[in-house]
Amino acid sequence: MARHISIAAANFAVRPVSSFDEFGAHCETLLNQAKGADLVLFPELLTVELFSTYSDWKSAPISELTRIDEFTQEYLDFFTEQARTRDQFIVGGSHLLKDGDRYVNVGHLFEPSGTVHTHVKTHIFPAEAGWSTEEGTTVEAIELPFAKVAFNICYEAEIPECAATAAEQGAEIILCPSFTFTEFGFWRVRHCAQARAIENQVYFVHCCTGGRPGAPLPNGWAQSSILTPCDMPWTPDGIVAQATPNEEMVVHGTVDIDRLYENRDNGAAPTFRDRRRRADLYASWPSHTTAVPR
């Protein structure tokens, strides 16, 4: 039996809000549009919207963005309850939170059962340095009832090893909450996401933060999409669905997990197999410091 997974990805536009409840209502509007999906994604750092609840937010330096850690428990409670009541698996994007004496950018995946999976972003984009965030050290596949998934948060998509190690662990769908401040940044992540889908013969969901909330909060450039390898079982451009650029909306698409394995066996470009078949060769090349996992 084919394993068909319905996916919904929010093209989220950050805007000033007066309270956590208003932020929650914003999210619920998009969750309502994602009705019926097995897996729902929100983008990276959608919770920057909560910075606007502070009375001094327009004059505060962006280095104080980590103040939104104060909303961590409300954020966790909100998405835990939404996943339970809607009976959906929800990627609550990512959120800046305090971990001991450091701040980290953490992706969260909420199950209807109440289980919460987390991933600490392992490669911080240089522009994030001003937020005093530090990096995680692991990429791990997560077993869901319908598929194995893994996080690649934004800039991680530009680091091929992040998707390769996820695929090596059996990940079939890469979850990419993303927040890019320019169209240049958007296309870097988008093109890399498509490349990772081709290299590893996996599905890749690029879910974007957009909006123009006003300084000091950054603008976002957003066109969320659900991507496939570019091969015969799918469309030539490898796009299942994509949003209208910079328009708040939810995109829907259905993917068939079994097609990935058929494509790995019979596709025109068996990249998953061939990258591993010659891994010893890559390790011997002086310019290559790491080998693709075998």
Tell me the per-residue pLDDT of 233-265, one tens digit each, with 9 for 90 and over: 999 999 999 999 999 999 999 999 999 999 999
Q: In the predicted model, what is the mean pLDDT of residues 214-226?
A: 97
Q: Please, which residues have CB within 8 angstroms of residue 70's CB and are 6 or more apart in sequence?
A: none
Judge whether residue 294 has pLDDT over 60: no
Reported confidence tier of residue 279, pLDDT bands at 50, 70, 90:
confident
Catalytic residue, chosen from 44, 128, 156, 158, is: 44
Q: What digits encode the pLDDT tens for the residues 112-146?
A: 999 999 999 999 999 887 788 999 999 999 999 99
Q: Which residues pair with 106 in a beta bridge?
A: 95, 120
Residue 44 annotated in active site? yes
Residue 58 annotated in active site? no
In this prediction, residue 37 carries a pLDDT of 98
Residue 154 annotated in active site? yes
Catalytic residue, chosen from 27, 49, 128, 154, is: 154
Judge whether residue 292 has pLDDT over 90: no
Taken in order of first residue, the domains within the chain and their CATH numbers are 4-284 (3.60.110.10)
Q: What digits encode the pLDDT tens for the residues 7-63?
A: 999 999 999 999 999 999 999 999 999 999 999 999 999 999 999 999 999 999 999
Q: Which residues pair with 117 in a beta bridge?
A: 109
pTM (global) more than 0.75: yes
State the SS3 of the chain: CCCEEEEEEEEEECCCCCCHHHHHHHHHHHHHHCCCCCEEEECCCHHHHHHHHCCCCCCCCHHHHHHHHHHHHHHHHHHHHHHHHHCCEEEEEEEEEEECCEEEEEEEEECCCCCEEEEECCCCCHHHHHHCEECCCCCCCEECCCCEEEECCHHHHHCHHHHHHHHHCCCCEEEEEEECCCHHHHHHHHHHHHHHHHHHCCEEEEEEEEECCCCCCCCECCCCEEECCCCCCCCCCCEEEECCCCCCEEEEEEEEHHHHHHHHHHCCCCHHHHHHHCHHHHHHCCCCCCCCCC
